[in-house]
Amino acid sequence: MENFTLFNPTRIHFGRGQVAAIGSEIPADSRVLLLAGGGSIRKNGVYDQVLKALGGRTRFEFFGVEANPDFDTLMKAVEVVRRERIDWILAVGGGSVLDGAKFVAAAVDYAGDPWEILVTRAAKLTSALPVGAVLTLPGTGSEANGAAVISRRSIREKLAFISPLVFPKFSILDPETTFTLPERQISNGVADAFTHVIEQYLTYPANAAIQDRFAESVMLVLAHEGPKSVKHPTDYDSRANVVWATTWALQGVIGAGVPQDWASHAIGHELTALHGIDHARTLAVVVPSLLDVQRSSKREKLLQYGRRVWGIRTGSESDCVTAAIEKTRQFYESLGLRTHLSDYDVKPDVGAEIAARFRARGVLKIGERGDITPEVVERILRQAA
């Protein structure tokens, strides 16, 4: 096991009616900016619950954070925060709203052009406003981590930053607030979280038994409960297990002390930037192909994954690896996520374009061994045609 330091400061309030906990989390004399998306929270009653919990606090609202939150939109929220001397940001929505809130919190007092926060991955960040979250779409793990992914459509970029300063101070996870999710979004969430585990687990053995077994548990729960919850969106127990599994997938514990990959995410973000494909769907395209291209360097973990998660025990090692990758593809497809570029009308030569973007940015070696070069990225995408 590698050395690690682990700290997760987010207080989680889980379960029915927990939106009320906002009342004990945000100081009564705060000036709060409620940040939200396109309006789903007005239709499903979450907004009313939030207003009730906020009580008499001074409140401002900023709606319109889009899926794949946009820098230009968020900079308008930054202006509101500065103008109204806001001191708390309350994100109410999915991963995009939460990520947007983290960016706004970091940008407000940033000396310089806030886009630098993304370009330097928060290297010079020294402060951020406190963020609280009411999560209405499980999947990204943003509710309990220090990461945010921001798009800038005007220059066709999508970049991430990570900082301990932007962990939410608290997050409300009430599975009932997710009952109104369209099938496409809950499927996306399950697939995204499953892939977060893959990125931290399907690498090479590090003798990290706790991390491995926990990672496998999260995958097993998502594989079992995910499709059930897509089919029965108001089954509380099933949805509760999905919500908690997705948080576990990216709140730090399973990734501590182990090698991590994240190449599928890096490539997927480019596909979203260039073609607007949903985040989870880019992963469904990239992951099966990446696992196949990297099958020898990931062989031991692919075998362990196949055996422990999908029960693959017979056949040659090569057959077992192939079967494990095929099971992964089938899982995405079973959730309704198509796994080929052609399903999204994207030509395989997008690989050359993305490889060129990586080269221009100096991203020359990704993956747990640093052996995914721009050439390999091209091969992965050619194979995902």
Which residues lie near Zn ion (CB under 5 A)? Answer: 192
Q: How many residues bind ligand NZQ (CB under 6 A)?
A: 35
**DSSP secondary structure string for all residues of 222-281:** HHHHHHHHHHSTT-HHHHHHHHHHHHHHTSSTTTTTS----HHHHHHHHHHHHH---HHH
Letters for 94-133 (x = contact with ligand NZQ by CB under 6 A, - = none) are xxxx-x----------------------------------
**185 touches ligand NZQ (CB under 6 A):** yes
Mapping DSSP to helix (H, G, I), strand (E, B) and coil, where does residue 129 land? coil
Question: 209: which residues sit within 8 A by CB, 6+ positions away?
Answer: none
Closest to ligand NZQ by CB, 268 vs 374, is 268
**Binding residue for ligand NZQ, selected from 44, 58, 260, 304, defined by CB under 6 A:** 44
Q: How far apart are the first and last CA of the chain?
A: 37
Q: Which option in ligand NZQ, Zn ion, none does residue 37 bind, with CB closer than 5 to 8 A by kind?
A: ligand NZQ
Which range of residues in 79-87, 141-149, 213-221, 227-235 is near ligand NZQ by CB under 6 A? 141-149
**238 touches ligand NZQ (CB under 6 A):** no
Closest to ligand NZQ by CB, 201 vs 320, is 201
**Binding residue for ligand NZQ, selected from 10, 40, 49, 322, defined by CB under 6 A:** 40
Q: Which option in ligand NZQ, Zn ion, none does residue 68 bind, with CB closer than 5 to 8 A by kind?
A: ligand NZQ
| Residue 195 Cβ vs ligand NZQ, minimum distance, rounded to whole Å | 8
**137 touches ligand NZQ (CB under 6 A):** yes
User: Which residues on neighbouring strands pair with residue 70, listed in sequence order?
Assistant: 151
- Residues 227/334, Cβ–Cβ less than 8 Å: yes
Q: Please name the amino acid found at residue 304.
A: Q
**Binding residue for ligand NZQ, selected from 122, 173, 221, 250, defined by CB under 6 A:** 250
**180 touches ligand NZQ (CB under 6 A):** yes
**Binding residue for ligand NZQ, selected from 108, 133, 181, 223, defined by CB under 6 A:** 181
**328 touches ligand NZQ (CB under 6 A):** no
Letters for 47-86 (x = contact with ligand NZQ by CB under 6 A, - = none) are --------------------xx------------------
Element (H, E) at 89: strand 88-93
- Token pair of 240 as six digits: 């509760």
Q: Which option in Zn ion, ligand NZQ, none does residue 163 bind, with CB closer than 5 to 8 A by kind?
A: none
**DSSP secondary structure string for all residues of 190-211:** HHHHHHHHHHHHSS---S-HHH
Question: 163: which residues sit within 8 A by CB, 6+ positions away?
Answer: 106, 122, 125, 128, 146
Q: Which option in ligand NZQ, Zn ion, none does residue 366 bind, with CB closer than 5 to 8 A by kind?
A: none
- Residues 144/10, Cβ–Cβ less than 8 Å: yes
- Residues 58/87, Cβ–Cβ less than 8 Å: no
Mapping DSSP to helix (H, G, I), strand (E, B) and coil, where does residue 372 land? strand
Give per-residue burial for 270-306: e unless 16+ CB within 10 Å, then b.
bbbbbeebbbbbbbbbbbbbbbbbbeebbeebbebbb
**Binding residue for ligand NZQ, selected from 9, 27, 39, 315, defined by CB under 6 A:** 39
Block residue for tokens 């029965």: 232
| Residue 283 Cβ vs ligand NZQ, minimum distance, rounded to whole Å | 8
**139 touches ligand NZQ (CB under 6 A):** yes
**Binding residue for ligand NZQ, selected from 30, 142, 203, 238, defined by CB under 6 A:** 142
- Residues 308/271, Cβ–Cβ less than 8 Å: no
Summarize as ranges the residues that interact with ligand NZQ (CB under 6 A): 37-41, 44, 67-68, 93-97, 99, 136-137, 139-142, 145, 147-149, 177-178, 180-181, 185, 188-189, 192, 250, 265, 279
